[in-house]
Structure 1
Amino acid sequence: MRQIPERSAVPEALTWDLTPIYADDTAFTQAIAKIKQQAQTVAQLKGHLATSGAELYRVTTAVFALNRQLERAYVYASLKNDQDTGNAQYQDFADQTSALVATVATATAWFEPEVLALSADQLQALIAAEPKLAEFQHFFDVLGQQRAHTLSVPEERLLAGASDIFEASEKTYGVLDNADLQFPVVQDEDGNDVKLSQGLYGVLLESTTPKVREQAFKALYSVYQQFRHTFASTLASEVKTHNFTAQVRHYGSAREAAMSANQIPAVVYETLVSTVNDHLDLLHQYVALRKDLLGLPELHMYDLYTPITGEPSLKYTYDQAKAEALKALAVLGPDYVANVQRMFDGRAIDVVENRGKRSGAYSGGMYDTKPYILLNWQDSLEGLFTLVHEMGHSIHSHYTRHNQPYQYGDYSIFVAEIASTTNENLLTDYLLKTQTDPKVRAYVLNHYLDGFKGTVYRQTQFAEFEDYIHQQAAAGKSLTADFMSDFYGKLNQRYYGDAVISDPQIADEWARIPHFYYDYYVYQYATGFAAATTLSQRILSGDPAKRDAYLGYLKAGSSSLPLDVMRHAGVDMTQPDYLETAFQTFADRLKEFGDLARQLK
């Protein structure tokens, strides 16, 4: 039976090296103590910033310096905890930094209200009096947009002090989902007993044996259904937190509050949902084609991930995937490729699954660290796509941090997924250009269509569900497990159409989606993938100016508003054009795949 290794059994070369952040755990502990002292010092600066331009600069840089040290500690603790969520010491580190976030937030809660208490003219006069403040001009301009939503100093301090409490539901969900859930033993395609895990589940759903897919699907959901009422409680509490925070900050809704944080107008969200719903017929066509080509009397939800073309003809070891990634991303230029190579060579990637490791994949880090990638590697084409996806995030972070000062050295969540999905699109193009075997091409096209389904359609479905439960909670409706499952099941049926049977388990899918705790995050996957379609086509045109415009987006960080950054890169995301381009690409590749797959059948 396949066993998931303990952390201590993983080869060092396949683990990330966190010593550049702190030399050891003792250094982390010392840093925590220092940050607490700094927080006390910064708290004493309250009431000073309006006295002169020099004081505004001194106070502003002190606040940023404190947050910079906090981020470093938080990244170290979270990466350590994620590599083994069952490790009590690193659980404690994560708890310490979460509490420290609240401490620092309380110590600095007065800063933004004091700035916003100044009139625009007063603030501008202070900036003019101190030339060093010019580098903070955009920061102050963006902050000024929050005047109507910023509370008094005592109220801000109260909310800041409660931040750790507000995160309780997400934390509980994370521990339960990543560490405490115990999945049963199932059988793989060869009849071997294997312990089901989050990472293995995705592999088994791609099996060409229907019984393997069905068994994995039902086994996984049998565990989630045991705890569906607990998951409903944690999610309902999270939604209430979002709604409460939006209300006290004078927003019309939690969605408005979340989008305002990234300066994204409602039209971007509304255009996405409307345009996707206008093109559900394409998803229905794809689902019907899948049923036909698989030759199944009934198509179930667990049949939506197995390659239509049969046994995957492309599998990559981790080393093979690294080589392919470098080739696929070469179109972005030698400097980009060199940065990717440095990621591979510098132990910036935690590669394989181990017991207790956080599921999924992500890119992390902060301004003063290298970008880090967490993977749970499986030898598959999906593994290659995940590697390229997360590398897109990491190189975006690298360029931003090396081209912007700290205050602009991060980027909006809204633009974050664009870099990763542009890489995915470039990989798809590379594979279609280099793979001549019809079976391989069909497999790549199938993968693209599944990726589009899982990103543009699926994430918009999630966004609709997320918005619905926030609205219902705001209206006083109790978010019970039955209530959420009823809506989710009907929503899932509308998205996928009549060609697929909506298995009863799928109504509880909301219970296993961590992104519902991220406060209106998911819609950005869909907008990002669609924007990436246009950007990848511009890059592949061979025009150096278009490639440089894209690299300019990667280097911009938060030095401009997100929509302005994207306009400079070549995409206006307030208009539906980029979405229509994406759906046309999907339709073209759907036709190409259908024709090719029928020839091979």
Structure 2
Amino acid sequence: MAANKDLPKREAIASKFKWKLEDIYSDISLWEKDFKKVKGIAVQISGFKGKLADSPEMLLDCLKMSDEVLSLNDKVFVFARMKRDEDNGNSTYQALTDRASTLATEVFAAVSFIVPEMLDIPEDKLLSYTEANSGLSVYLFTIQENIRQKGHILSDNEEHILALSAEISDAAGDIFTMYNNADIKFPYIKDEDGEEVEVTKGRYVAFLESKDRRIREDAFNAVYSTYKKMKNTLAAMLTSNVKKNRFYAMVRKYPSAIGASLDNDNVSVSLYDNLIETINKKLTLQDRYLKLRKKVLKLEKLHMFDLYVPMVEEFDRKIPYEEAKAIVLEALKPLGEEYVEFLQKGMDSGWIDVYENQGKTSGAYAWGTFKTHPYVLLNYQDTINDVFTLAHEMGHALHSYYTNMTQPYVYSEYKIFVAEVASTVNESLLMRYLLPRAKSKQEKAYLLNHYLEEFRGTVFRQTMFAEFEKTIHEKVEQGEALNAQELCDIYYGLNKKYFGAAVEVDEDIAMEWSRIPHFYSSFYVYKYATGFSAATAIAEKILTEGEPAVNKYLEFLKSGGSNYPIELLKIAGVDLSSPQPVQDALNVFEKTLDELEELLG
């Protein structure tokens, strides 16, 4: 095997393509100093116990100290975890992350008395405190939100116990992360040149986009045969996570795990159900698209491993990272000079970790803390998909950047429900930038195909994931067992429903549930679909209305978590309490499909 086919070690990556975590801590001694400081404040805050009703000033001092310890704890944890993400096999940063995780549990336990004790104060008196002290007025929304959820907040002692359980409750997800990022090894397959190449999660995406069907099938089989060997262990991990969710829902007096999860956003379960129902009614649109794919690829049968290869074979463009940066900067100019200035700053100032290396966490994310600038992890592979990923993750990063410049710590963490909006607005604007600049019919068709793929993956696929999550939680809540075979049967059945009219649903796809990290952040994925729908509407407003729409959108980005997600989106002109945005997005999908069908004959 050629040496250059091996995944490089971390030290072989040029520094200009690595994020600068030294902007958080220039050396470990500074991390250790803050680690000790957090421990000290966590002990100190207990001095407020039993005193929050004494005066508005006492309550304010306690809330300020809570913000201080939580924000500093965030900084300690994020640094350790991102250092581990550089190379999950690095034992030094495994240990640092473990220590940070234990510390976080101690901190959450230390502050766990605040909300129950605050809610023991009569509601009228508590609200009058916010009027009597201007410093407390900052906390008005969070106080009102705690009052809304009062029926699900337990006693001081009970909340303390739940806080202490956080570390062990995350065990299933932590075990999956270590297996999926550090321990799993896939077989080698032969590439286009006949050379043996190790399959990795980063390369898997590129393999599925290969024009060579043999490579696509080999990669597909390599991945799922590997997960299948551990199917019972993986099933135990996921089932444990589901049972954890059921436990916390029960102790907090929610009727279901989904109800508990959605209540954090003040979102009705009917919104979740309406999404699934709306998409299920329009599966014929996906069938139509997939049948076009089968026709264009000239395949007798369309298999699951044929779903990601570009349909337009003539257009094959490698996009180096520096070119991707320039494209994204141009594409996002409709968002205004300030936004582009911040975008350029992020790209040039060590916010981004670009390339895959041995042990690096797969996929992509944006992260950071209130006390740091945002960071972005990529595994860039020179494809058009990676350009869209860059735009997507920088959307998250700048959402955080705007929020942290504007909001106090207590509202700096916006809800996941709105998080995918900022990222997908960027993707929509990028697509609208690229389409009219297509240099040929083939390039335009490629981009339309890409957009439909993004839509299929974000709306149809994530809704299927959401339906899977809802089903497996209902099974456990009804007292039924979840084992590997049951999980495979449920997942395979959903694939038959979502794809079966147009695709040969391969048996091995039944194992796909075992490799989806988002299933350990339960009831998360539906927000991709609703976020995509909202972003489609916002991007359209920005392009047609110009500066007024941009100003509303930037106001939304600056709002952080200062209101309920549904209300924040109304600032940008979208009302997701109605199923209309999802239906409107499906109409865009249909129009795009019409255009692609016309181009490809």
- Calculate the TM-score normalised by the size of structure 2: 0.98
1:360–1:376 CA contact under 8 A, matched in 2: yes
Deviation string, structure 1 residues 319-346 (Cα, Å, up to 9, x no partner): 0000000011011111000001001110
Q: Is the Cα contact below 8 Å between 2:314 and 2:442 reproduced in 1?
A: no
Deviation at 1:313, TM superposition (A): 2.7
Instruction: Give distance in 1, aligned partners of 2:46 and 2:509.
Output: 49
2:183 matches 1:177: no
The residue that corresponds to 2:462 in the other structure is 459
**SS of residue paired to 2:84:** helix
Secondary structure in structure 2 of the residue aligned to 1:430: helix
SS in 2 for 1:44: helix
Cα contact 1:246–1:252 (8 A) shared by 2: yes
Contact 1:411 1:558 in 2 (8 A): yes
Match of 1:219 among 209, 219, 222: 222
Superposition map of 1:23-422 within 5 A? 23-310=26-313, 312-422=315-425
* Residues 72 and 371, structure 2, Cα contact 8 Å, conserved in 1: no
Matched, 1:439 2:442: yes
Q: Secondary structure at the match of 1:186?
A: strand
| Unaligned segments of structure 2, at least 5 residues | none
1:498 Cα offset (Å): 2.3
Task: Assess if the C-alpha contact under 8 Å between 2:187 and 2:222 holds in 1.
Answer: yes
**What is the Cα deviation at residue 222 of structure 1?**
0.8
State which drifts further: 134-143 or 510-519. 134-143
2:421 touches 2:535 (CA, 8 Å); kept in 1? yes
Q: Assess, with a 3 A threshold, how the Cα gap between structure 1 residues 485 and 544 changes in structure 2: closer, same or farther.
A: same
Deviation at 1:111?
A: 0.6
Distance 1:84 1:312, change over 3 A: farther
Whole-Å separation in 2 of the counterparts to 1:474 and 1:8: 48
CA contact (8 A) 2:188 2:196 kept: yes
> Given residue 554 of structure 1, which amino acid in structure 2 is its aligned partner?
L
Distance (Å, rounded) in 2 between the aligned partners of 1:127 and 1:424: 41
Aligned partners of 2:356 and 2:379 also within 8 Å = yes
CA deviation vs aligned residue, 1:186-236 (integer Å, no higher than 9, x gap)? 122222221110000000000111111000000111100001111100000
2:511 to 502, 508, 511: 508
Indicate the SS of the match to 2:203. helix
Residues 215-259 of structure 1, C-alpha deviations (whole Å, 9 max, x = no match)? 000011110000111110000000000010001000111111111
- In structure 1, distance between residues paired with 2:103 and 2:434: 46
CA distance in 1, matches of 2:584, 2:89: 45
CA shift for structure 1 position 129: 2.3
Whether the 8 Å contact between 2:402 and 2:557 is mirrored in structure 1 is yes
Q: Distance in 1 between matches of 2:48 and 2:499?
A: 56
* Cα pair distance change 1:199/1:314, threshold 3 Å: same
Checking the alignment, whether the CA contact within 8 Å between 1:98 and 1:164 is kept in structure 2 is yes
Contact 2:315/2:442 (<8 A) preserved: no
Number of residue pairs matched by the alignment: 598
Deviation at 1:312, TM superposition (A): 4.2
Deviates more, 1:37-46 or 1:233-242: 37-46
CA distance in 2, matches of 1:547, 1:61: 34
Aligned to 1:481: 484
Counterparts of 1:9 and 1:24, CA distance in 2: 21
Query: 1:529 aligned to 529, 532, 549, which one?
Result: 532
Aligned-residue identity in percent = 41
Deviates more, 1:279-288 or 1:403-412: 403-412
2:111 & 2:544 partners in 1: Cα distance?
48
Is residue 556 from structure 1 mapped to residue 559 from structure 2 by the alignment?
yes
Cα distance between partner residues in 2 of 1:7 and 1:177: 18
Cα distance in 1 for residues equivalent to 2:502 and 2:266: 40
Conserved 8 A contact 1:313-1:443? no
Q: How far apart are the structure 1 equivalents of 2:314 and 2:83? A: 37
Distance 1:267 1:339 in 2: 38
Q: Secondary structure at the match of 2:310?
A: coil
Q: Does 1:574 align with 2:538?
A: no
Find the residue that maps to 1:308 and give its secondary structure.
coil
User: C-alpha displacement at 1:311, in angstroms?
Assistant: 5.1
Q: Deviations over 1:94-150 (max 9, x none)?
A: 111111111011111111101111221010122222221111111111111110000
3-state secondary structure, aligned to 2:291: helix
Whole-angstrom CA distance in 2 between matches of 1:110 and 1:90: 31
How far apart are the structure 2 equivalents of 1:44 and 1:173? Answer: 38
- Give 1:468's match in structure 2, choosing from 471, 486, 490: 471
For residue 19 of structure 1, what is the aligned residue in structure 2?
A: 22
Please state how far the C-alpha of 1:493 moved relative to its aligned partner: 0.8
| Whole-angstrom CA distance in 1 between matches of 2:373 and 2:270 | 35
Choose 483-492 or 125-134, whichever is displaced more.
125-134
The alignment's C-alpha RMSD in Å is 1.0
> Aligned partners of 1:575, 1:542: CA distance in 2, in Å?
23
- In structure 1, C-alpha distance between the alignment counterparts of 2:418 and 2:271, rounded to whole Å: 13
Picking from 574, 584, 590, the partner of 2:587 is 584
| 1:448-478 CA-partner distances (Å, limit 9, x unpaired) | 0111110100000000000110110111111
Are the counterparts in 1 of residues 9 and 357 from structure 2 also a CA contact under 8 Å?
yes
Q: Which residue of 2 aligns with 1:7?
A: 10
Write the distance in 1 (CA, Å) between the matches of 2:437 and 2:298: 29
Q: Kindly provide the amino acid, as one letter, of the partner of residue 516 in structure 1.
A: F
Q: Is the CA contact 1:300–1:501 (under 8 Å) kept in the aligned structure 2? A: yes
- The answer to whether the 8 Å contact 1:208/1:311 transfers is no
Amino acid at match of 1:341: Q
Whole-angstrom distance in 2 between the partners of 1:377 and 1:131: 48
Secondary structure at 1:373's aligned position in 2?
strand
Report which stretch shifted further, 314-323 or 116-125.
Answer: 116-125
Mapped contact 1:48–1:59 kept (Cα < 8 A): no
The amino acid of 1:540's aligned partner reads L
Q: Which amino acid aligns with 1:522?
A: V
Distance in 2 (CA, whole Å) between partners of 1:44 and 1:519 is: 35
Distance (Å, rounded) in 1 between the aligned partners of 2:520 and 2:266: 20
Shift of 1:560: 1.6
How far apart are the structure 2 equivalents of 1:543 and 1:173?
A: 45
Partner of 1:497: 500
**Counterpart of 2:23 in 1: which secondary structure?**
coil
Q: Is the 8 A contact 1:185 1:194 kept in 2?
A: yes
Classify the secondary structure of the residue corresponding to 2:376: strand
The alpha carbon displacement at 1:436 in A equals 3.7
CA displacement 1:298-325 (0-9 Å, x = unmatched): 1100000001111543321000000000
Counterpart amino acid of residue 268 in structure 1: L
